[in-house]
């Protein structure tokens, strides 16, 4: 590249006040007008609640979320990384202004006797040198290298803040999910225990009928088998309760040992808001922290292209020092001790432009990769919401059907028991009715938990809540 070309480019940049490299523009992305799998009833395109965990009306969940935000180590780590990114941004901003530093030094020098024509005493070849003052340096940002560096650092701050939001959003979802799984497991355990009590009474009844000569050993064996099989359901459910509780402890930043939840009477986790606000796809892409992080990373890598491109041009730096110099300390304060240096310094990779071009190609390739990652993140966000909407809508329909099936099965089991005790039906009919009722009640309990956790997954996919977390 000829010096005349460099000079013309420098003049053009200086007159226009522009910076090297491309100016960043947010890339276009697919934004459907509405979500395809949004249920026809129970949802609204209004913006999702920023405190969606309060929509369940569960004070214990709200308290757990507050504790998690204050104590979770992942959130603390992400917060520290945000502070680091902001500090690095502040450091880059200082390069826009002159750098001023204080300096003081002392030097004692002994010159060699060989440098003199005749022998000179040692005392006359020994010199003291004292200096004190200020050093200043300032790069004239003619081609925007510093401005692009500041722009990249600012985008990295946005990426770090979005990463913290992603960690916080994941934490909110995990706390809610594990809490409802803990609550649902406790309810399933209660259902199984209640069924076991009924089957134990049935076993006693069949045993009494056998002793009275009105029953058979087959009926007793069947009743005992059903009772023991239900008892076998209890240990795995108890393990599910322990696992959910321990996971909650870790999310809250406390040891699992000794951590307990205020356990009231077991109840199904089926409290759902009457209307779920899901927003629009366009709002989703502006709200999701992972999309915002990918977009900020793309902005940073785009600015880095300008940083690399600016190295094609000369870098002009003004440097100077001011301060007294003297052979003694008192001499620093005498007239005539003042000294200064000042002048421009020009550096240019004139014979290393191939290396600069390689850095530009690398920065350009990274920006291209970040653009692809951004587009992939956008599609992944839309996929998450569509899957969550489909899961929530279908599971809610399944739960409603199971509620009716349990009611019908309970009526059938009651009638079968009456007919058995009256001698109008055999014991197998009663046993089959009880088994069906237990299976449906367990399915309903699982569906109630899945319905609530699928709504939690939907709120998480929608990306709301991290913008306004609870105050620690």
Q: Which of 471, 405, 394 is nearest to 441 (CA)?
A: 405
The mean pLDDT of 277-293, rounded to a whole number, is 89
Per-residue pLDDT band at 362 (split at 50, 70, 90): very high
Ranked by mean pLDDT, the top range of 35-44, 126-135, 241-250 is 241-250
pLDDT at 348 over 70: yes
Domain topology for 13-96+144-313+354-462: Outer membrane efflux proteins (OEP) (1.20.1600)
Q: Which of 82-86, 397-401, 467-471 has the lowest mean pLDDT?
A: 467-471
Residue range(s) occupied by CATH 1.20.1600.10 in the chain: 13-96+144-313+354-462
What CATH number is given for 98-140+314-347 in this structure?
Answer: 2.20.200.10
For residue 379, give the H/E element and its range.
helix 353-421
The mean pLDDT of 398-414, rounded to a whole number, is 93
- End-to-end Cα distance, the chain: 58
Q: Are 237 and 174 in contact (CB under 8 A)?
A: no
What does the pLDDT look like over 209-228, one tens digit per residue? Answer: 888 888 788 988 988 998 99
Torsion of CA 160, 162, 163, 164, to 10 degrees: 90
Q: What is the model's pTM? A: 0.83
Per-residue pLDDT band at 244 (split at 50, 70, 90): very high
pLDDT at 376 over 90: yes
Strands 338-347 and 276-277: unpaired
Q: Which of 94, 71, 201 is nearest to 472 (CA)?
A: 71
pLDDT at 344 over 70: yes
Helix segments in 232-350, DSSP class H: 234-251, 281-287, 289-310
The DSSP 8-state label assigned to residue 34 in this structure reads S
User: What contacts 24+ positions apart, CB below 8 Å, involve 281-286?
Assistant: 281/31, 281/32, 281/33, 281/34, 281/35, 281/382, 281/385, 282/31, 283/47, 284/381, 284/382, 284/385, 284/462, 284/463, 285/29, 285/31, 285/378, 285/381
Residue range(s) occupied by CATH 2.20.200.10 in the chain: 98-140+314-347
Q: Which residues pair with 126 in a beta bridge?
A: 110
- The reported pLDDT for the residue numbered 18 is 67
Q: Are 358 and 324 in contact (CB under 8 A)?
A: no
């Amino acid at each position: 590249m000829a010096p005349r070309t460099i000079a013309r480019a420098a003049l053009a940049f200086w007159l226009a006040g522009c910076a090297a490299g491309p100016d960043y523009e947010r890339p276009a992305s697919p934004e459907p007008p509405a979500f395809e799998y949004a249920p026809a009833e129970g949802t609204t395109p209004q913006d999702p609640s920023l405190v969606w965990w309060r929509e369940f009306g569960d004070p214990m969940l709200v308290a757990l979320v507050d504790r998690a935000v204050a104590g979770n180590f992942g959130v603390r780590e992400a917060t520290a990384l945000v502070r680091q990114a902001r500090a690095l941004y502040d450091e880059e901003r200082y390069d826009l202004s002159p750098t001023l530093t204080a300096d003081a030094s002392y030097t004692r020098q002994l010159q060699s006797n060989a440098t003199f024509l005749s022998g000179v005493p040692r005392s006359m070849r020994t010199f003291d040198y004292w200096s004190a003052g200020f050093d200043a340096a300032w790069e004239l940002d003619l081609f925007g290298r510093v401005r692009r560096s500041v722009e990249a650092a600012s985008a990295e701050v946005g990426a770090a803040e979005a990463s913290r939001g992603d960690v916080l959003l994941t934490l909110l979802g995990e706390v809610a999910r594990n809490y409802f799984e803990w609550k649902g497991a406790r309810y399933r355990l209660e259902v199984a225990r209640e069924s076991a009590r009924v089957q134990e009474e049935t076993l006693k009844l069949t045993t009494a009928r056998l002793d009275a000569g009105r029953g058979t050993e087959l009926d007793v064996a069947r009743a005992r088998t059903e009772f023991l099989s239900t008892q076998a359901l209890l240990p795995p459910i108890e393990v599910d309760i322990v696992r959910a509780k321990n996971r909650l402890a870790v999310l809250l930043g406390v040891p699992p040992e000794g951590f307990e939840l205020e356990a009231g009477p077991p109840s199904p986790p089926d409290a759902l808001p009457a209307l779920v606000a899901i927003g629009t796809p366009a709002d989703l892409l502006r709200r999701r922290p992972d999309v915002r992080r990918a977009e900020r990373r793309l902005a940073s890598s785009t600015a880095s292209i300008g940083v690399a491109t600016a190295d094609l041009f000369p870098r002009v730096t003004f440097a100077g020092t001011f301060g007294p110099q003297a052979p003694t300390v008192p001499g620093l304060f005498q007239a005539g001790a003042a000294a200064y240096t000042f002048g421009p310094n020009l550096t240019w990779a004139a014979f290393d432009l191939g290396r600069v071009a390689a850095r530009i190609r690398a920065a350009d390739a990274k920006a291209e990769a970040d653009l692809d990652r951004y587009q992939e993140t956008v599609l992944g966000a839309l996929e998450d919401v569509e899957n969550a909407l489909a899961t929530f809508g279908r599971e809610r329909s399944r739960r409603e059907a199971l509620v009716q099936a349990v009611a019908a099965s309970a009526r059938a089991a009651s009638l079968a028991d009456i007919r058995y005790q009256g001698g109008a039906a055999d014991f197998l009919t009663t046993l089959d009715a009880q088994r069906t009722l237990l299976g449906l009640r367990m399915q309903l309990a699982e569906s109630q938990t899945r319905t609530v956790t699928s709504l939690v997954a939907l709120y998480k996919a929608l990306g709301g809540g991290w913008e306004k977390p609870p105050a620690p």
